[in-house]
């Protein structure tokens, strides 16, 4: 398991990312674009002392509207100029870094009547957000240190399919280990037999769309096993 110092440092930077996302929800307007939302998020990260990113010089990856279901690497990402408008789904993925400690946090924000809402009326919004919460809660209760990356991939994708969703990730995975070099990440995909307990931290970030639906939902956190072998979220 990770050391107490590692947990504390990762928790500090992840808490900053979560705070930025919470604040951002109240700042988004119908006139915003991917570019302006990314700028707002990065400005708040800088205010918090986190001006650097570990992810391809892309501290805030924002997708909305016609790109809601697009899965793209940060190395290829360029924020778009499409406006939010009256109804939309906005996904923001933050990747701050300080020394060797990473944050990695994503949330999807439903927009109705030109503002982010925490109680959407659109059924597709409610279903997508609710399923993400349910999947993360189930994962916390299911995974053990002996669970392999591949087993977690199979478990997550089975539940995604069973509940009428599809996996949108361009790598077809649902997360990765948290390391100090992004090129050394272990991915949660089908042929990875490494045990999750062999890494200090990992992210879980299913990117999903309801089969036949319009919107792509992502929810991401960082996890580790405590001294009792119980999975916890940073």
What are 78-102's pLDDT values in tens digits?
999 999 999 999 999 999 999 999 9
112 phi and psi, to 5 degrees? -135, 140
With residue 105 as reference, give the H or E element that holds it.
strand 105-112
1 pLDDT higher than 90:
no
At 144-157, the pLDDT tens digits run 999 999 999 999 99
Q: Residue 170's pLDDT is what? A: 86
| pLDDT above 70 coverage of the chain, percent | 100
Half-sphere exposure of 167 (CA within 13 A, CB side): 22
Q: Residue 171's pLDDT is what? A: 84
The token pair at 31 is 């006139």
CATH code: domain 4-233 is: 3.90.230.10
Q: How far apart are CA 39 and CA 60, in angstroms?
A: 8
Q: How far apart are CA 208 and CA 168, in angstroms?
A: 5
**Residue whose entry in the numeric block shows the structure tokens 């944050």:** 103
Half-sphere exposure of 27 (CA within 13 A, CB side): 15
165 pLDDT higher than 90:
yes
* pLDDT, average across residues 61-72: 97
DSSP-assigned states of every residue in 133-167: HHHHHHHHHH--TT-BHHHHHHHHHHHHHHTTEEE
At 106-138, the pLDDT tens digits run 999 999 999 999 999 999 999 999 999 999 999
159 pLDDT higher than 90:
yes
Q: How many residues does the chain have?
A: 234
* pLDDT, average across residues 29-57: 98
Q: Residue 172's pLDDT is what? A: 86
Q: How far apart are CA 85 and CA 88, in angstroms?
A: 7
3-state helix, strand, coil in the chain (%, to 5): 35, 25, 40
* pLDDT, average across residues 28-56: 98
């Amino acid at each position: 398991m990770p050391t107490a110092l590692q947990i504390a440092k990762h928790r500090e930077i992840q808490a900053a990312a979560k705070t930025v996302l919470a604040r951002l929800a109240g700042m988004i307007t119908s006139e915003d674009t991917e570019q302006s939302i990314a700028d707002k998020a990065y400005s708040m990260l800088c205010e918090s002392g986190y001006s650097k990113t570990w992810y391809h010089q892309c501290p805030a990856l924002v997708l909305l509207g016609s790109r809601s279901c697009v899965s793209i690497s940060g190395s290829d990402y360029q924020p778009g100029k499409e406006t939010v408008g009256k109804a939309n789904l906005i996904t923001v993925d933050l990747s701050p870094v300080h020394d060797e400690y990473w944050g990695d946090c994503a949330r999807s924000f439903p927009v109705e009547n030109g503002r982010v809402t925490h109680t959407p009326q659109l059924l597709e919004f409610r279903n997508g957000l609710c399923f993400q919460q349910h999947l993360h809660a189930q994962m916390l209760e299911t995974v053990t240190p002996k669970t392999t990356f591949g087993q977690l991939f199979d478990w997550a994708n089975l539940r995604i399919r069973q509940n009428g969703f599809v996996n949108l990730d361009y790598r077809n995975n649902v997360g990765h280990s948290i390391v100090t070099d992004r090129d050394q990440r272990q991915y949660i995909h089908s042929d990875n037999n490494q045990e999750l307990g062999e890494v200090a931290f990992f992210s879980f970030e299913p990117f999903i769309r309801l089969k036949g639906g319009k919107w792509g939902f992502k929810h991401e956190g960082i996890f580790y096993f405590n001294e009792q072998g119980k999975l916890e979220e940073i």
